[in-house]
Amino acid sequence: MFQKRTLFKVLAVSALALTFAGGIAAGTASAEGRGRGPGGSGGNGSGEKPSCEERCAHVAERVLQACTKAGGTDCEAKAATAQAECITRCQNPPTPLTCEERCDKHAAEALARCTAAGGTDCEARVAQMLAECKTRCANPPTPPTCQERCAKRGEAMLKACQAAGGTDCEARAAAAVAECVTRCENGGGGNGGGTGREPGNPGRPGRPRPAPTTAP
């Protein structure tokens, strides 16, 4: 009985390696930054956000179970290693990349894809994309105002109404714009949220390509 209890403790303190080979990424992602809500798996039953150690122990249990179910070997050791690595990442979260570093990263990925696909002028094309990306980092676009978004929404409504053969399209679109602007002035953001300017992250260019048009 004592041996079984000891083995159980070893197994419980382990549990995150088979998921490494197959799906541990999801578990560790939640373990590294996001606690689970009350009632969700990984919680501590009190409604409080579980600690890093608690989340990693839960992930470890899942790895151990998956490894055992799959008939794997050294499941306890794999789970223990995974748990230790999870805790290390919790305690030492990676530093977010700067805008320029993200541009470099995406450019390298784009060059690799272009080369693998047998593309032509890959280096020149990626260099141009990289330059455009870093330019956006230095000069982030200004988000549209609430009123500007209302105007775009009105234009889209007018076109849709006319395309559908509707009646009084101009009046209906104008009324919608006026209502939207009123919400802007009352702090509603024109769409039920926000306060004038659309929230955004201008320092985040995404992939090294022309910036996408902001949706109204």
Residue 40 has pLDDT above 90, yes or no: no
Residue 45 pLDDT: 54
Identity of residue 165: G
- Within 13 Å, how many C-alpha atoms sit on residue 75's CB side? 20
Which of the listed ranges 48-57, 87-96, 147-156 does the model predict with the highest average pLDDT? 147-156
Please report which confidence band the pLDDT of residue 114 belongs to, taking 50, 70 and 90 as the band edges.
Answer: very high
Q: Taking residues 184-210, what's their average pLDDT?
A: 48
pLDDT digits (tens, 9 = 90+) for 58-108: 989 999 999 999 999 999 999 999 999 999 988 888 888 999 999 999 999
SS3 content of the chain, % helix, strand, coil (to 5): 60, 0, 40
Contact between 133 and 101 (Cβ < 8 Å): no
The pLDDT > 70 percentage for the chain reads 65
Q: What is the 8-class DSSP label of residue 200? A: -
Please report which confidence band the pLDDT of residue 47 belongs to, taking 50, 70 and 90 as the band edges.
Answer: low
Please report which confidence band the pLDDT of residue 36 belongs to, taking 50, 70 and 90 as the band edges.
Answer: very low
Residue 135 has pLDDT above 50, yes or no: yes
3-state secondary structure (DSSP) of residue 164: coil
* Lowest mean pLDDT across 67-76, 131-140, 185-194: 185-194
- Measured at the CA of 167, the angle between CA 161 and CA 170, to 5 degrees, comes to 65
- Measured at the CA of 166, the angle between CA 163 and CA 169, to 5 degrees, comes to 90
d(CA 213, CA 216): 9
Predicted TM-score (pTM) of the model is: 0.37
Residue 191 has pLDDT above 60, yes or no: no
Residue 179 has pLDDT above 70, yes or no: yes
